[in-house]
Every structure is written in structure tokens, then in C-alpha cells.
Amino acid sequence: MQPVLSLNGITKSYGQIQALKGVSYEVPEASVFGILGPNGSGKTTMLSIILDILKPDAGSFAWFGQPGSPDTRKQIGSLLETPNFYHYLSAVDNLNITQAISGRGDAAEIDRVLEIVKLTERKRSRFSAYSLGMKQRLAIAAALLGDPQVLVFDEPTNGLDPVGIAEIRELIKELARRGKTIIMASHLLDEVEKVCTHVAIMKRGTLLTAGQVDEVLANEDIVEVSSNDPHALLALLSSFPGYTHIKQDGKLIQLFFPVGTARLEEVNRFCFEKGIILNLLLVKKKSLETKFFELTND
């Protein structure tokens, strides 16, 4: 299947600062693709390039297999920063203005996008009366005008309270269920892990890894065990074959195995035969936070 977006060796510098260093990856159709990295990693620069706001110094990108153009741009809705809505106008009036300026969709579409972002009941309220989460949902409604195939968001939950973050997170999931391809930059690990199917991790302009979230995380099995005597358990498991390293975290002991090689029944039998009864035995999925810090720590 042809990727929605392909990047090939994208490089961009601001004077002596190299913001992007030969970045290449592909965004599959109907994915929620998170571009994850700390501030200064090049996320916003990357989004600005693929939206034709900035030109790369080297490299190229293609939307739907074609170089970027006004025609392909019409298939992409974007939210790079909170748009300048008129505070004294309603949601409907603001979207009418956005539609007229952008030429995306038509006036009849405004009710449809307001329904998607769950602002129908407040569509006549002034923008100034909206919460931060509602303002962000209206901005996403503006990006949905014209029914684009792809949505590009830069830090869509930035500055929101927990309620607003949850609202935007659920909205992104709903848009994904509707078949949209979503590309979103974020520095929030939890946000990416909960909503994204794919991730690219960046640091200081360099792409560290990219792929399906499960594949990025699944480079080893982590087996967690505990018993009433953690010291004896640690001493015993030190002689268990096949693990790459072992770690104690309070009463928990973690055994790390190459991916796909952990066998819980063998660990359980080994301990039982040596007289130790386990009260916890499970394979723990590595969190994106763990993987992120492994990759980005110097």
C-alpha cells in the first residue's frame, strides 16, 4: 500500500543550528502517526516543511506518491497553533469566515464538522465563552473543513487541563475511526502511547527510530517476579538461563530476555523446584517512556 507521506533525507538549518539531519520515514494510510521528541528536536520544523511553510535545505517529501502541490495541500487539514478566531463571534460565524478565506468545503459543511467535535449545542456561543478544550476542538473543526484525508496537528493538547486533554484524545481516536490519517507532533509520552499506532522518535534533529508503536517497544521481554523472600529469589534467578540482564526494584525482580524468548512456565518451574513460591509472575510490556529515555539519554 502506498504511504500517505514519504520523507527522504530532509535537512534544515537555521544558521549554525541544524534543525533536521537527513530525516527519512513513511506514514502509512489510516495511521495515527506520532512525532515524539523533547522541545528542540525538530518536530515543528518537520511539520512546517511537509505543509510547505518552510523549504528544506536538502531532501524531498511526497504526499500520496506525488510532490507537494496546491492540489495535495487541499487534502490536508492542519493545526499548527491555535488559530486567530474572533473572540466576539460564535463558532458558526468564525467557521464561516475560515471557510470563506480558505475556500475549503462550503457553508453547509459547518454543521457537520461542529457535530464531529461535539460543539453543536454551543455553536451560537461566543468564542470568548469557550473553555480552552472547546477552543481547541473548534480549531480542529476548522481543520476538518473540506473533509481532508490527512490531519496534521502540532502539540494538539498543549496548555490544556486534564479534562481538555482527554477530550482532544478521544476526538483524535474518533477521527482515526473515521479513516483519517493523523500526523501529530508531541512531547507527551502518555499522549502518544494512548492514541498513536505509529511513532517516530527524534532528538536534536536526528531520527532515532520509527515504526509501529508495538514494534518500537518490543525489542525485549520483561518478566516481573516476586516472592516472600526477594533476596533469595534474586540469588536463585541469577542462575536462570537465557536472560540478558536482571534488575531488582524494591520487592520486584525483573528479568530481561530477547524479544519472544521469555517462557513464564519455565521460570515458575525453576523457582518451584528450588523451593521458592512466586506470588507474582508476568510479562510486562515496555512503556514508551522507558523506550524514549533509553533512546534520548546521552
Domain extent listing, the chain: 5-216, 219-296
43-79 tens-digit pLDDT: 999 999 999 999 999 999 999 999 888 888 888 999 9
The structural architecture, per CATH, of the domain 219-296 is 2-Layer Sandwich (3.30)
Residue 2 burial (CB count, 10 A): 10
In b/e form, how buried is each residue of 230-256, taking b as 16+ CB within 10 angstroms?
beebeebbeebeebeeeeeeeeebbbe
Residue of 108 and 18 predicted with greater confidence: 18
Residue whose C-alpha is closest to residue 281's, from 254, 260, 245 = 254
Average pLDDT over the chain, rounded to an integer:
90
pLDDT at 189: 81
Asked which of 81-90, 92-101, 264-273 is least confident by mean pLDDT, the reply is 81-90
pLDDT at residue 8 greater than cutoff 90: yes
pLDDT at residue 117 greater than cutoff 90: yes
Residue of 68 and 139 predicted with greater confidence: 139
Query: What number does CATH give the domain 5-216?
Result: 3.40.50.300
- Average confidence (pLDDT) over 266-282: 93
Please tell me the distance from the alpha carbon of residue 195 to that of residue 238, in angstroms, as a whole number. 38
pLDDT at residue 219 greater than cutoff 80: no
